[in-house]
Amino acid sequence: MVKRARGDDAGGGRGGADELESVRPAGRGAGGAGGVGAVGAGRRSGGDRELDAVAARLHTAAIRLLRGLRPVDEASGLSAARLSALSVLVYGGACAIGELAAAEQVSAPTMTRLVAGMEADGVVRRSRDRRDGRSVRVSATARGRRILEAGRRRRVERLARLLSGLSAREVAGLNETIEVLESVLGARGGGRPPGEGRAEPGGGSRGGGQAAQLELAGGAR
């Protein structure tokens, strides 16, 4: 899960994906070849190094994918941070501010400011928890859901255009790769495969940050 920057709308603009772009593959950290990462990398087997190389390529492709979709997200009128938080609420349901902050990996005060702005935009609402009057829950409004679903359609259309030049065999191969990724993310990543929705409020874990941004493209099937 990508660690987001702090501050109101901290995930907007370039966001955590670009921050990760500076990470060097194969354990080469800031200390160069003499660093601890380089020493550990030298002891890895050939199979491990191959996995590292595949992971590095996937990492770069994910960054480029998110960056390529950024322009279509701007049509929503919401920052990347607000879209990401909104996606958690639309696909996962209402939750407390603390839960939303944990999902998006920001502090509760930061999320409180973010939610206040989203409420002013008319995309979320705050209400008292019927089971605990001291707790406030945040939920997406009908307008917020429409904005997010329209954003998903724009993303899917953009991706479809990018893939339009592929052959039938390439499309089939890509589909198989996606199935493998969905299986890995669902079985080993602690979350559910993209498109299967999020855990019900109060149960299970919620993926946030850039994971939520990616789910905008996957959405609910």
State the residue range of the domain holding 135. 15-218
Confidence grade of residue 124 (pLDDT, cut at 50, 70, 90): very high
Structure tokens at 106: 């920001």
Whether the Cβ atoms of residue 212 and residue 194 lie closer than 8 Å to each other: no
Give how far the C-alpha of residue 154 lies from the chain's centroid of Cα atoms, to the nearest Å.
17
Q: Provide the phi-psi class of 195: left if phi over 0, else alpha when psi is between -120 and 50, else beta.
A: left
What is the per-residue pLDDT for 92?
92
Q: What is the mean pLDDT of residues 163-167?
A: 95
What pLDDT band is residue 30 in, cutting at 50, 70 and 90? Answer: very low
Which runs of consecutive H residues, i.e. helices, occur in 127-190? 142-163, 168-187
CB neighbourhood size of 105 (10 A): 21
Q: Has residue 134 been placed in a domain? A: yes
Q: Which two tokens stand for residue 135?
A: 């707790």
Q: Is residue 197 part of a domain?
A: yes
The reply to whether 163 falls in a domain is yes
Residue with token string 């198989």: 176
Among positive and negative, which fits the CA dihedral 11, 13, 19, 20? Answer: positive
How do residues 76-118 score in pLDDT, each as one tens digit? 999 989 999 999 999 999 999 999 999 999 999 999 999 999 9
Please name which of 209, 216, 218 lies closest in space to residue 81, comparing C-alpha atoms.
209
Q: At residue 25, does pLDDT exceed 70?
A: no
How far is 143 from 4, CA to CA, in rounded Å? Answer: 26
Q: Flag whether 192 is in a domain.
A: yes
Residue with tokens 């501050």: 7
Classify residue 10: in a domain, yes or no: no
- Look at residue 46 in the predicted model and tell me its pLDDT: 72
What is the value of pTM for the model shown?
A: 0.61
pLDDT at 3 over 50: no
Domain-located, residue 8: no
CATH assignment at residue 94: 1.10.10.10
Residue 159 within a domain? yes
Q: Which two tokens stand for residue 185?
A: 């993310």
Neighbour-count burial for 134-152, b at 16+ CB within 10 Å, e otherwise: eeebbbbbeebbebbeebb
**For the chain, what is the domain count?**
1
Is residue 132 included in any domain, yes or no? yes
Section 30-54 average pLDDT: 64
pLDDT value for 43:
67
- 125 DSSP β-pair partners: 139
What is the DSSP secondary-structure string of 25-83?
STT--TTGGGSHHHHHHHTS-HHHHHHHHHHHHHHHHHHHHHHHHHHHHGGGSS-HHHH
